[in-house]
């Protein structure tokens, strides 16, 4: 029996129905690049002596959290690591340097993969060459993005002080959605948020809803900045998260927040993305409450006290997803807004932290 050819003939592929032709090329190219880039990444990983598994074991965290960390990273980095296997930590420690030099690395890796793929296809077809370059860059960037998030997550796990007694195992479907999102995000601030999300989910599975991940996939920088500014005015009482609106018009449930760099359009955008329950404020009247009802709250990331006894307040409420994202942000107190709250609530509001 004759020896099998080690290439894929385009004359064979072209017999496929034209609607499936491009689809077939694209998927084959993706497979080729995954094979060759994956092999190169694995070779890099094998060159290190220290294991990530040993590093995780050295961290003073419960065993269930260590297991969740291994599962999460194995899900995201594929063949590079696996549960119970030796996992090279130096590989992740080098990623910051690799990212800085990724221009050259991408070119070399794409050229190597393209050369191998061209031999496999046995063609000089222009369409194939364009597709090779396009998907090659995409796949390499996806690897790099996932690795960056993994590195930041490892750093986070070394500094956490878990106060959760959860015994749940992290969900693989959630992880799949998370890593599919992570591979598309190149901005460092977004990767930082993603690493915090993964760290929180590793420590306490179920903390971050799949809908919150879905929101991140469509959140633009402009809306993200608007949300950050709104969260700098926010209060989390341990049960819910809200903003006390100080400027609601009489007999209406809406008013300007431009003094704090939040426009009506910002509120409508955040409402549309379901980060807040409504652009309109909820008017709440409190009866007389005992002095013991003074609450310790998280106000813009700092500790404060509040007592709503005999107060009427208008609240913009964050949704569950909005609250989950808010508690991952680095918040900065808006001093101008703090003074306005003190004018509005008098002694019922006090910043402690």
What pLDDT score was predicted for residue 340?
Answer: 96
**pTM of the complete model:** 0.71
Please give the pLDDT value at position 150: 87
pLDDT at 191: 92
pLDDT score of 91: 38
Domain edge (last residue) among 210, 244, 277: 210
User: Does 181 share its domain with 137?
Assistant: yes
Residue 307 confidence (pLDDT): 92
Whether 3 is covered by a domain: the verdict is no
Q: Are 72 and 175 in contact (CB under 8 A)?
A: yes
Residues 226 and 191 in one domain: no
pLDDT under 50 in the chain at which residues?
1-19, 21-22, 25, 33, 37-38, 40-41, 43-51, 79-103, 121-122
Distance CA(179)–CA(174), nearest Å, equals: 9
Do 226 and 206 lie in one domain? The reply is no
44 Cβ contact partners less than 8 Å away, ≥ 6 residues apart: 91, 94
Residue 82 CA to residue 72 CA, distance in Å, equals 10
Structure tokens at 178: 């998370």
Nearest to residue 10, comparing CAs of 118, 91, 89?
118
134 and 206, same domain (yes or no): yes
Does any domain span residue 57? yes
| Residue 55 maps to a domain | yes
Residue 1 lies in a domain: no
Q: Are residue 273 and residue 157 in the same domain, yes or no?
A: no
Token pair 């009506």: residue: 264
Domain count, the chain: 2
Residues 178 and 55 in one domain: yes
Range of the domain at 153: 10-210
Residue 143 pLDDT: 79
Mean of all residue pLDDT scores within the chain: 76
């Amino acid at each position: 029996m004759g020896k099998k050819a080690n290439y894929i003939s385009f004359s064979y592929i072209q017999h496929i129905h034209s609607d499936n032709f491009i689809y077939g090329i694209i998927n084959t190219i993706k497979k080729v690049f995954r094979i060759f880039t994956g092999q190169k990444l694995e070779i890099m990983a094998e060159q290190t002596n220290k294991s990530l598994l040993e590093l995780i074991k050295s961290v003073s965290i419960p065993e269930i959290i260590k297991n969740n960390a291994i599962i999460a990273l194995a899900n995201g980095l594929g063949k590079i690591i696996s549960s119970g296997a030796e996992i090279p930590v130096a590989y992740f420690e080098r990623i910051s340097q690799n990212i800085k030099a990724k221009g050259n690395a991408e070119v070399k890796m794409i050229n190597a993969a393209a050369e191998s793929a061209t031999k496999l296809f046995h063609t000089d077809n222009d369409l194939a060459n364009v597709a090779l370059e396009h998907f090659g860059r995409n796949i390499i960037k996806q690897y790099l993005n996932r690795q960056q998030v993994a590195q930041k997550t490892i750093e986070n796990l070394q500094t956490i002080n878990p106060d959760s007694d959860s015994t749940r195992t992290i969900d693989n479907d959630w992880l799949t959605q998370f890593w599919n999102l992570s591979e598309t995000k190149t901005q460092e601030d977004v990767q930082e948020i993603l690493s915090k999300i993964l760290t929180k989910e590793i420590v306490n599975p179920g903390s971050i809803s799949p809908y919150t991940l879905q929101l991140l996939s469509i959140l633009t920088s402009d809306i993200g900045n608007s949300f950050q500014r709104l969260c700098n005015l926010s209060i989390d009482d341990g049960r819910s998260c809200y903003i006390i609106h100080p400027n609601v018009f009489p007999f209406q449930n809406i008013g300007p927040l431009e003094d704090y760099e939040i426009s009506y359009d910002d509120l409508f955008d955040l409402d549309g993305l379901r980060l807040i329950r409504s652009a309109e404020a909820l008017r709440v009247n409190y009866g007389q409450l005992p002095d013991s009802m003074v609450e310790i709250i998280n106000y813009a990331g700092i500790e404060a006290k509040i007592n709503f006894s005999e107060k009427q307040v208008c609240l913009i409420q964050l949704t569950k997803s909005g609250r989950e994202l808010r508690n991952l942000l680095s918040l900065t107190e808006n001093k101008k807004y703090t003074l306005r709250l003190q004018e509005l609530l008098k002694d019922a509001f006090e910043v402690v932290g």
